[in-house]
Amino acid sequence: MSTTFKTSERFVDEMVDERCTVDKSKSFYDKPTIRTWRIDPGVDPAINQKSMEYLARLEEVRSLIGNTPLLQVDFSYRGKRRTLFAKAEYYNLSGSIKDRMAFHILKKAYLSGALKPGAMIAEATSGNAGIAFAALGSMLRHPVTIFLPDWMSEERKNLLRSYGANLRLVSHEEGGFLGSIALAEDMHEKDPDVFLPRQFDNTDNCEAHYLFTGPEILAQMQRLNRVPTTFVAGVGTGGTVMGIGRAIRAVNPQATIHPMEPSNSPTLSTGYKTGAHRIQGISDEFIPSIVHLNELDSIVQVDDGDAIIMAQKLSRNLGLGVGISSGANFIAALKLLESMPEQQAASASVVTVFVDDNKKYLSADYAKEEPIKPGYLSPDVELTNVLAVR
C-alpha cells in the first residue's frame, strides 16, 4: 500500500492516465484544497524520507511557478477589429513556460524514485527547458548537465552557466539536437543514477499542462465570460499543445487545437528535418513521441521573419517584451482568425501562449531590423490595447 502525504495548497487532483486522457467526471473549475502525494511503495524507505525532504523544498517555490496572467490583446488587422488571448508565461520562475514542465517532472520523479536525492540531472534542450531544470536543480542541490546545440543564443548559454549548470555545447557535426539527446542518453548509460527528464518522450510533460496551465486558462477565460474555441502553440516538445489542448477539449469538445511550426523548416508537415529557421525552441529536427498529430487539427505555418517583426511590435507598441516564438504564436492565432468567416472571427476565443521574454534574444536577429517580405501579416497588425487577468 502506498504512503500518503497531504498538504494544504490548492491543487487540481489527478485526472489523467499515463497518456493524459481526459476524465470528464472531474471539474477544472473546482480545485480541491488537499493534495495527495503517493510515494512508490517499491522505493527504499530511506530514499522515501529523503525524497520527501526534497519534495518539501520543491513545494516552497510552487508559488513562483504558474498562475501567470492571461492577456487579452486587442488589435486590428487590415481595418478589422480582432482579439486574441495569450498566457504570459515569462512570469514563471526562470522566465518561461518550461518551469511548469520541469517542476512537474521532478516532482513525479521523486515520487517514483527515478530521481534520487542529490543525483545528477542531465537534459538535451534548445534552451528554456534546460534553464528551468538548471534553476530548480540549483535550488534542490542537484548538479545539472545541459546538452545544448551550439547555435542557440548567447543569452541562453550565459543563463545556463549563471544557474551553475555544466554546459556541453553540441555542434552540427556532432549531430546537433539529435546528437545532444544521444549524449545525454550515453551519460545515463554510463551512470544509471543520472536522471534524464527526457522532455520529448515524457508524458509528465503534457500532464503538467493538462493539470495546471489548461485549467488556469479555462478559469481566467471564464472570468471574461468566455470559453476557448481555438488554441494554437508552437511545437518544441509538444507538451504545451497536447496538454492544454486536452484540457480545453474536456470543457469544449468542439474546440480546435493547432500545432504551429516555422514555414522555413516544416518538420511536423514533412516528418523529418528540413530547412533552417530562427524561432528558437520549436521544430527541433524531429517529431517528439508525445506529439499525436492525429489528435490535433491543422498545422499552422509561420515565417520566422514575420514572427520576429511581430515580437518586436508587441514590445514597441504594447510594452510586452516577448520572445520570437511568442511573435510566431501571435501570427499563428491571427492566421486562424483570418481563416474564419467574419462573424465567427469577431466572436472567436482564440488562445495561445507567450512562451518567454525578449531578453534571451538580444544577440539574435530579434534585435536587428527585419526586412518585410511579401505575405507577412505583421506589417498590417495595429496593436491597440492589452488587458491582464489573473
Active site residues: 98, 325
Q: Which residues pair with 86 in a beta bridge?
A: 71, 352
Decide if 244 contacts 350 (C-beta within 8 A): no
Q: Which three cell numbers stand for residue 306?
A: 514575420
Burial 348-387 (b: 16+ CB within 10 A, else e): bbbbbbbbbbbebbeebebeeebeeeeebbbeebebeebe
Burial 68-104 (b: 16+ CB within 10 A, else e): bbbbbbebebeeeebbbbbbbbbbbbbbbbbbbbbbb
**Hey, how many other C-beta atoms are within 10 angstroms of the C-beta on 154?**
11
Amino acid found at 379:
P
**Hey, how many other C-beta atoms are within 10 angstroms of the C-beta on 27?**
14
Q: Which three cell numbers stand for residue 58?
A: 520543491
Q: Which residues pair with 322 in a beta bridge?
A: 357
